[in-house]
């Protein structure tokens, strides 16, 4: 059985007055691409932020490579994060820096590499996401899709072992979305990166997933391969994947 890279055990999280996660149990084997689907506001991003320690569970544990994230001090947490990359929904590029500086920041901070090598890696990563020659652009001059791709290049700069994607294709045109989907798949297949993708784009989910988990009412409602999920008779999952307004899920 493959080694577990990420494991949630009874994770509960309350934010404000809302119990967002109400006992999430989930494990992701090393090298797997797990897609978490669920409605807007169901806590998918919250779940993702627990993996990288941006949020800590109120109860339960999140284990990354067998280590409880909540038990780490700041320095240890920063080290764990160096081996991870996260793509934020909005891109979250640093707008005081150029695209090139964004992508190269982690390399400048964490590696002894010289400027020519860093510049080489930066252009390589930008080429990977189809943004060759944008090093000197400011994030504010990029379109939404370009921002997201630049942010992906930044997340990949340190060759992470684990990638977390928060809505990687939302707001992108279908062609760019397909580029991102293929890229996620390629990274996972060629480099064996463990990935968690949070999305409500089912097309993207079927494309990239080894397994799909549905988060519903603070718990993992269903887990299965894309084929299993497509064939399920569970009314909640069926309604979600077919995008119907009729069924047990009410419009919010």
Partner 1 sequence: MSETEAEATAAWPQRALLAWLQNVGEVFILLGSTLREIPSGARKVGLVVTQMEAVGLGSMPLTVIVALFTGAVAAVQASYQFRDYVPMIYLGTVIGKSVVIELGPVLTALVVGGRVSAAIAAELGTMRVTEQVDAMETLGISPIRYLVVPRFLATIIMLPILTIFADMVAILGGYLVAVLTLDVSSHTFTSGLRLYFKVQDVFSGLIKAFFFGMIIATMGCHYGLRSEGGAEGVGEATTRAVVASCLLILIVDYLLASFLFRVLFA
Question: Footprint of partner 1 on this chain (CB under 8 A)?
Answer: 49, 52-54, 74, 78-79, 81-82, 84-86, 88-90, 92-95, 105-106, 109-110, 151, 154-155, 158, 164
Kindly tell me which of 155 and 237 has the beta carbon lying closer to partner 1: 155
Name the H helices within 52-201.
74-82, 99-110, 115-128, 144-156, 174-191
Kindly tell me which of 168 and 226 has the beta carbon lying closer to partner 1: 168
- Of 134, 105, 207, the closest CA to residue 165 belongs to 207
For 6, 39, 71, 77, 153, the CA distances from 93, given in Å and listed in that order, are 26, 26, 29, 21, 11
Which residues are registered as beta bridge partners of 240? Answer: none
Check residue 8 and give left, alpha or beta (phi > 0: left; psi -120 to 50: alpha).
beta
User: At its nearest, how many Å lie between partner 1 and the CB of residue 174?
Assistant: 25
Kindly tell me which of 93 and 241 has the beta carbon lying closer to partner 1: 93
Q: Which residue has the tokens 């964490």?
A: 110
User: At its nearest, how many Å lie between partner 1 and the CB of residue 177?
Assistant: 21
Q: 164 burial class (0-12, 13-18, 19+ CB within 10 angstroms)?
A: buried
Token reading at 187: 């990274």
Which residues are registered as beta bridge partners of 6? Answer: 28, 64
Kindly tell me which of 76 and 225 has the beta carbon lying closer to partner 1: 76
Kindly tell me which of 78 and 127 has the beta carbon lying closer to partner 1: 78
Kindly tell me which of 36 and 48 has the beta carbon lying closer to partner 1: 48
The answer to whether 19 touches 12, Cβ cutoff 8 Å, is yes
Kindly tell me which of 101 and 210 has the beta carbon lying closer to partner 1: 101
If you write DSSP's letter for every residue of 109-129 in order, what string do you get?
Answer: HH----HHHHHHHHHHHHHHT
User: At its nearest, how many Å lie between partner 1 and the CB of residue 24?
Assistant: 20
């Amino acid at each position: 059985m493959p080694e577990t890279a990420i494991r949630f055990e009874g994770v509960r999280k309350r934010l404000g007055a809302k119990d967002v996660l109400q006992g999430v149990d989930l494990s992701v084997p090393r090298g797997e691409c797990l897609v978490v689907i669920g409605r807007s506001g169901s806590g998918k991003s919250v779940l993702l932020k627990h993996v990288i320690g941006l949020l800590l569970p109120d109860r339960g544990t999140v284990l990354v490579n067998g280590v409880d994230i909540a038990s780490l001090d700041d320095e240890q947490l920063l080290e764990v994060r160096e081996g991870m990359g996260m793509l934020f929904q909005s891109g979250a590029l640093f707008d005081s820096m150029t695209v090139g500086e964004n992508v190269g920041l982690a390399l400048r901070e964490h590696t002894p590499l010289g400027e020519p090598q860093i510049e080489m890696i930066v252009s390589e990563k930008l080429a990977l996401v189809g943004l060759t020659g944008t090093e000197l652009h400011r994030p504010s001059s990029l379109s939404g899709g370009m921002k997201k791709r630049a942010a992906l290049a930044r997340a990949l700069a340190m060759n992470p072992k684990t990638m977390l994607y928060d809505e990687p294709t939302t707001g992108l045109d279908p062609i760019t979305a397909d580029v991102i989907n293929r890229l996620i798949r390629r990274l996972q297949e060629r480099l064996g990166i463990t990935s968690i993708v949070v999305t409500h784009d089912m097309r993207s989910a079927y494309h990239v997933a080894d397994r799909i988990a549905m988060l519903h009412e603070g718990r993992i409602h269903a887990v299965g391969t894309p084929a299993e999920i497509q064939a399920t008779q569970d009314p909640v999952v069926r309604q979600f994947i077919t995008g119907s307004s009729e069924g047990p899920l009410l419009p919010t």
